[in-house]
Amino acid sequence: MSFTATIEQRTSQTGAIFLSPSKRRKLEPDTEQEQASDEPTTAELWKWTLKHESIASCFIRDVFEMRENVEKDANFFWLGRVPCRTVRIVGLVVGVQVYEKRIRYTVDDGTAVVDCLHRQLLPPKTPSKKSQANTQGTKSQTTPPPEDPKPVARVGRPVCVVGRVVRKYETREIVVDSIVACPSANDEPRHWLEVLQLHKSHYSASASFRIPKASTAALQTSSPVKAPQSPTSATRDPVTPSKVLSTPSTAISTLSTTHTTPSTSSSPASPAKCTTQSPQKLRHPSRLHSRDLNGNTFRIYVKHYMDRMTYADHISEPDYDSLSNEFMSDADCPPTPTKPARRVAPDETPRASTSGLSMRTPRPRIPALSFDGHHRRSTVVLTGKSRMVGFTISYLRRVPELADMAKRVVKAVAKRRLREERQKAKEAAASGTTQSTRHKQGAPTSKEEEADKLAGRVKRLFQATIVQLLREGSIVLWDGPVRRYDQVLKEPDSGLWKANVTSTSADSTVFSTASGVSRSSVEADEDNFELSDPESGEEAYVPLSPQFLAGVVETAIRKLTSVRPRGGENRSLSTKEGILAYLKRDDRWRYLSEWSVGEALEVLRAEGRGWCVGKEKWELSL
């Protein structure tokens, strides 16, 4: 009998305590929650649609197909994945309806037709004085009705419209912020290509919309003239600068900009953006108040006239009411019907006519008119490069508007001086210090003597104005062709001054009717005086515009870069300071400033004629 013993093996227990597994650290954030937090709210999207950079270039069809936001508090639309409130369209004007306070344009771009409402700002009514009401008594004063606003473009012209999309009953329309006539017919197809590219890369992208960081961090500092960059044109690879041959369309837009605003540097903007703005106009000199008549104002008006009339082929935009004058000359108009003269039967034997007029094919007496709206402008632009002409003091003194303004300035300054003398005399009489003011007044002068004094003061005012403009670097001496002083009244001066009715978004006004009154009434003014013939070899001047100075700076860079430094010296001749020092060798450029040279260099860079190679050195493009 065997016994089996079972030995129980006891394991030694340790004092270790098993803890729960430690929590893992989150090395990667929750992408879903982060994306949800980065998505902008409806309020943020609505605030972004109010900014200038949110303007969306699109077709008119997109205006009607955009989804309206569901929430009522935020009034905007969805163009694909992009929220928008303001759009930019380009199309042809197919209808114009002019009302008292607004103009309704009907625009068609081939995809759809939309109405664009352009509200006009009426000039404020002048308050009637009580004294006038008392003197008039019961007489009823009838004020003439205000003139209708003038459209920016007529039917058949391409326009660029920027405005806000709103609902109008069962359809939509655009409340215009700005509307301008496109300078070229190629602007519309360029706009098509841009919108198609935006639909592919931006509007129809798969990713959700994010507000650009630049727009959220920085304040809205963009001016209404500068067009926002599209996503496709915002990032571009740097290109080696070279000479750019301008196409006819760009040449037309560049020439038109250069003619109208020669004193401002024109950067080459894309025609598809339609950011062309009308040149700035000043109020007609005859409408200036007495408090504004001084030497500074007169200098501004002289500079404005020289800027706008520098080019010999200066032609402004035609007036909407003078379309018949634009397309029909005096030779094209039919003659006034008159009674035919009686034919006296001659004594000779009648013969058969051999002229053969009855055998000719009948032709119309009046040539066919063209209503395309572009043939006159293209004829002017394509004739050749514009020719600058200078101004002499004799010519400027014979400009009716400037001559009339100079007389008013002289009289206003004399009136203020006399008022100050009377005030001082009154104060002196009150204090009892002196009583000799009456003895200072001389005998009354005749009208001829007053006219001679006025003529001398006006001449000195013109001379002082030219000297001041020359010293501040606004004008320079000119040795080229000069305007003839006897052709002042024949020069086209339309588009220089503002008219009575103005608009905020489009400067569609042209030459005021007050100018015609001024030019016709200057000769009948009692203060007129005969001007002596100009001296031979009289100095002429031209405004110093960046476009004009760019050619001079280009020649200076070419000469400076061709000079080799002596002794191996590394001299910076083609810098801004070197160019200025080189030009100031000529006494003509004595008052030239470094700022003007910088503007001219920017024009060379924008036109592809020059570029900065580094260390502020400039070279010409190949």
Superfamily of domain 37-123+146-236: Nucleic acid-binding proteins (2.40.50.140)
Q: Give Cα separations from 125 to 122, 134, 288 (angstroms).
A: 9, 20, 17
Q: What are phi and psi of 141, to 5 degrees?
A: -100, 115
DSSP-derived letter for residue 127 is P
Confidence of residue 409 (pLDDT cuts 50, 70, 90): very high
Q: Is the pLDDT of residue 154 over 60?
A: yes
Within the chain, how many helices (H) and strands (E) appear? 19, 13
Lookup: tokens for 13:
């227990």
Residue 245 three-state SS: coil
- What is the residue extent of each domain of the chain? 37-123+146-236, 285-320+387-430+447-540, 545-620
Q: Give Cα separations from 120 to 45, 157, 377, 496, 503 (angstroms).
A: 30, 20, 28, 21, 6
Pairing of strands 171-181, 113-119: parallel
Quick one: CA dihedral 542, 544, 546, 551, positive or negative? positive
Q: For residue 262, give the amino acid letter.
A: P
Confidence of residue 466 (pLDDT cuts 50, 70, 90): very high
Reported pTM:
0.45
Q: Supply the pLDDT for residue 168.
A: 85
Rg, C-alpha atoms of the chain: 36
List all residues 6 or more positions away from 462 whose beta carbon is below 8 Å from its beta carbon: 302, 393, 396, 397, 406
Q: How many CB atoms lie within 10 A of CB 246?
A: 14
Burial label for 270, CB within 10 Å (0-12, 13-18, 19+), is middle
Q: What are the pLDDT digits (tens) for 72-122?
A: 666 788 888 888 889 999 999 999 998 888 899 999 998 999 999 998 876
Residue 92 three-state SS: strand
Confidence of residue 173 (pLDDT cuts 50, 70, 90): very high
- Return the closest-CA partner of residue 260 out of 326, 186, 180, 331: 180
Q: Supply the pLDDT for residue 206.
A: 82
Pairing of strands 67-68, 102-108: unpaired
Q: Chain-wide mean pLDDT for the chain?
A: 70
Q: What are the pLDDT digits (tens) for 82-93?
A: 888 899 999 999
Q: What is the mean pLDDT of residues 193-200?
A: 92
CATH topology of domain 545-620: Arc Repressor Mutant, subunit A (1.10.10)
Alpha-carbon distance of 22 to 147, in angstroms, equals 85
Residue written as token pair 């007496």: 365
- Inter-residue contact 63 to 174 (CB < 8 Å): yes
Q: Supply the pLDDT for residue 583.
A: 92
Percentage of the chain lying above the pLDDT 70 cut: 55
List all residues 6 or more positions away from 450 whose beta carbon is below 8 Å from its beta carbon: none
